């Protein structure tokens, strides 16, 4: 199920264009329009879930699929051996600006710590 008011749902539905780099039955990955690293891809479940805080125990398989897709994105970008970062911002204080669960796959350069 998608949400007509959600930007990422509109991407899933094909109403908003995106540079898709990976897709499965349940997951979509596309390049961030404002990249923070040479590789910056967003991996989302196609089903609308507002944030990680909105998941339940029944979402275990879907969350696993999101992480496997993130791994596959890193492999496809050639950053898996050098290293990459996965980030899931949750809620306002966590920096979430689009309220559809997503993980950022960042890499292609050395990333500093702490990130925030």
Question: Using one digit for the tens of pLDDT, what is the confidence trace for 13-25?
Answer: 999 999 999 999 9
Question: Which positions ≥6 away from 101 have C-beta within 8 Å?
Answer: 44, 45, 49, 50, 51, 52, 54, 55, 66, 88
Q: Which residues are catalytic?
A: 102
Tell if the pTM clears 0.75, that is, is over it: yes
Closest CA to 109 of 40, 38, 41: 38
Show the tokens assigned to 67. 């992480």
Domain covering 7-107: architecture: 2-Layer Sandwich (3.30)
Question: For residue 99, how many C-alpha atoms fall within 13 Å in the half-sphere facing its CB?
Answer: 10
Q: 114 pLDDT band (50/70/90 cuts)?
A: confident
């Amino acid at each position: 199920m998608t949400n007509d008011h959600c930007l990422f749902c509109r991407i899933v539905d094909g109403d908003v264009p995106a540079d898709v780099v990976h897709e499965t039955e349940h997951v979509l990955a596309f390049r961030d329009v404002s990249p923070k690293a040479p590789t910056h891809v967003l991996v989302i479940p196609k089903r609308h879930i507002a944030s990680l805080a909105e998941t339940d125990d029944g979402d275990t398989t879907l969350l696993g699929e999101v992480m496997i897709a993130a791994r596959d994105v890193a492999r496809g970008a050639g950053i898996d051996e050098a290293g990459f970062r996965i980030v899931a911002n949750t809620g306002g204080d966590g920096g979430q600006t689009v309220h559809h669960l997503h993980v950022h796959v960042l890499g292609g350069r050395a990333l500093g710590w702490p990130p925030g």
